Amino acid sequence: MSDENTKSKEPRGGGALRVYRQTLPWWVLGAVVVGAAAGVALHEGGVTPEQVERWQLGLPGDLFLRALKMVVVPLIIAAIITGVSGVGDVRKVGRMGGWVTIYYLGTTAISVAIGLALVNLVRPGDGIDLGAAGQMPEELAIETRSFGQFMMHLVSVNPIGDAASDLGAGRLLPLLLFCILFGAVLTTMSREVKAPLMDLFDGLFKVMMKITDLVILLTPAGVLSLLVRTMAVHGTEAFASIARFGITVALGLVIQAFVILPILLKFVGGQNPWALFRAVSPALLTAFSTSSSSATLPVTIDNATNRGKIPPRIANFVLPLGSTVNMDGTALYEAVAALFIAQAYGMELGLGEQASVLVMATLAAVGTAGIPSASLVMIAVVLGALGLPLEGIGLILALDRLLDMGRTAVNVWGDVSGAAIYHGLELRKEKSGGAGPAAP
Ligand code: ASP
């Protein structure tokens, strides 16, 4: 896909609408602040979760989320197929895929290592009253899969049906793989076969982005409603009992988002981290308030290409893949939670066990679905593998929803950074006369 496509998606519309579009990040930020404050005020005023439900405070938010999810499956299909086939040469697809895989696994592992270092330093689990552990929620029926079942699951007989039936169940991966295969094979076909199909998916992509553009206009209302509901139900007192755990996770997220990723952006990608951060801030705030990287994907692609000037051929491949497999914040959270629970139960994990947590959390994050609280299931898997009691999850439930906001925003920031760094490496290579970054 050519970069001209981006230009046609530049903010348009007359007068007030144009001003609204240009100032959208501020409206969304305002909605986050006002929504959180109003939610806390309601909570402090004694409003119960049943009342929040009865008054339908979350209705605009749910409608906004559903509208975003409505776009995701057709958008992923169009984005990945145009992304992969637009690269033009199957070897280049392989090179981008190889680079992205290494970047994703590498940055996720760094994030987990930061979490492990902090949790050993702060030791938030020491002196925790285990009587405070809640019950495991019933919907967390843990489904452990054998390796064979996992492989069977990857090769779906109906990838579209799987992905569309429930965005939540982590079933996007088979569709992604199918679309990568489709796009890669398409590049090897004759012109007569290739041209109409590429036009078709290119058109589909443009229509889906246009719909996304309309949904994005509703972000402030959606974000306001989601924040009011979350804070009205959970309040801030959840922090008190396990504040040190919350602070450890938050500190780790801040280091990953504001130190590690910016360093990589600047020194590996030659990019201006702050400019990129500002450009994609609406997507980060959407991730923060929806706690779903899958639902945020349409906004992420829109911001990265239109505001962040990342070429669609890179963004359309790297971002959908990242929203499903690259979760820096989630991996950090899963590792810190597992060690926190171990500490609370008075179990010391040695270096070897912590190294296995590093590997497990990195891989578990790849398998975590991009939906709210998906981490809980994966933490159960990690706990099970370490022989720790699953009931320990009860300890972190109170804070999960709030920390989910932060870790989802970091997940999306990691995806965008990957796309921008790859773009930066390409620009460098072009300057020096090469064809694109080699796999590291
Ligand atoms: N909510 C996260 C996401 O969508 C996943 C998780 O950590 O629960 O990225």
**118-162 pLDDT per residue, tens:** 999 999 888 776 654 444 445 444 455 556 666 777 787 888 887
**160-214 pLDDT per residue, tens:** 887 776 554 456 778 888 988 998 899 889 999 999 999 999 999 889 888 988 8
Question: Which range, of 95-109, 124-138, 416-430, averages the lowest pLDDT?
Answer: 124-138
Among the listed residues 429, 407, 440, 430, the one whose alpha carbon sits nearest the alpha carbon of residue 100: 440
Among the listed residues 117, 146, 102, 207, the one whose alpha carbon sits nearest the alpha carbon of residue 439: 102
Provide the pLDDT for residue 54.
93
Q: What's domain 63-431's superfamily in CATH? A: Sodium:dicarboxylate symporter (1.10.3860.10)
Domain boundaries, the chain: 63-431
DSSP string, 55-84: TTTTHHHHHHHHHHHHHHHHHHHHHHHHHH
Helix ranges, 256-368 (H): 261-263, 273-279, 281-290, 293-302, 312-325, 328-344, 351-367
Report the C-alpha gap between 220 and 301 in whole angstroms.
18
Give the Å distance between the CA of 261 and the centre of ligand 1: 19
> Which of 172, 378, 411, 416 best tests ligand 1's pocket when mutated (most atoms within 8 Å of CB)?
411
> Which of 404, 405, 410, 413 best tests ligand 1's pocket when mutated (most atoms within 8 Å of CB)?
404
Q: What is the mean pLDDT of residues 262-290?
A: 95
Tokens of 28: 């969304």
Ligand 1 atom with the smallest distance to the CA of 412 is 9
Provide the pLDDT for residue 169.
47
Give the Å distance between the CA of 333 and the centre of ligand 1: 10
Report the C-alpha gap between 205 and 202 in whole angstroms.
5
Among the listed residues 343, 329, 309, 314, the one whose alpha carbon sits nearest the alpha carbon of residue 254: 329
**339-378 pLDDT per residue, tens:** 999 998 888 888 888 998 999 899 888 878 788 888 887 8
Among the listed residues 77, 48, 59, the one whose alpha carbon sits nearest the alpha carbon of residue 164: 77
**65-90 pLDDT per residue, tens:** 888 878 888 888 888 898 888 777 77
Q: Is 326 strand, coil or helix?
A: coil
Report the C-alpha gap between 146 and 130 in whole angstroms.
31
Residues with CB under 6 Å of ligand 1 are 291-293, 327, 330, 368, 370-375, 404, 407-408, 411
Q: Give one word for 309, left, alpha or beta, with left for phi > 0 and alpha for psi -120 to 50.
A: left
Contacts 24+ apart (CB under 8 A), 53-57: 57/225, 57/228, 57/229, 57/232
